[in-house]
Amino acid sequence: MHAGYNEAMPPKTPPAAAAAPMTFEKGLEQLEQIVRDLERGDLALEESIALFERGVALTETCRKQLEDAETRVEILRTQSVTKLADASVPEETADDRASGANNDEDVPF
């Protein structure tokens, strides 16, 4: 029997991407490195394909993060505009209505 057959296989480690969520910036950094590696042109075909596949996955991850960020910004912008609009319109009180304040009858034309 060959000595290697009885040895236990080392445990598989989970991919780094599964361990913690990747930041958008880290994803872009990795994409840029993949592009540089592929442009060098000195990789074997299988390595190139594996890098390309990783690049496609990173692109999708970054695209999703960017869409999520755009959605959050749009929600915050909408909330800010609403708050500003609410703050700029004075509320009419019961006293104002009783006294005739803000009444269109006061307009001369």
21-86 topology per CATH: Helix Hairpins (1.10.287)
| Residue pLDDT tens, the chain, 109 long | 444 444 444 444 445 444 567 899 999 999 999 999 999 999 999 999 999 999 999 999 999 999 999 999 999 999 888 887 887 766 666 566 666 555 555 655 5
List, in sequence order, every beta strand (DSSP E) within the chain. Answer: none
The tokens of 84 are what? Answer: 């500003």
Task: In whole angstroms, give the CA distance from residue 61 to residue 64.
Answer: 5
Q: Give yes or no for a contact between 49 and 57, defined as CB atoms under 8 angstroms apart.
A: no
Q: Please list the alpha-helical segments (H only) found in the chain.
A: 16-19, 24-40, 45-88, 94-99
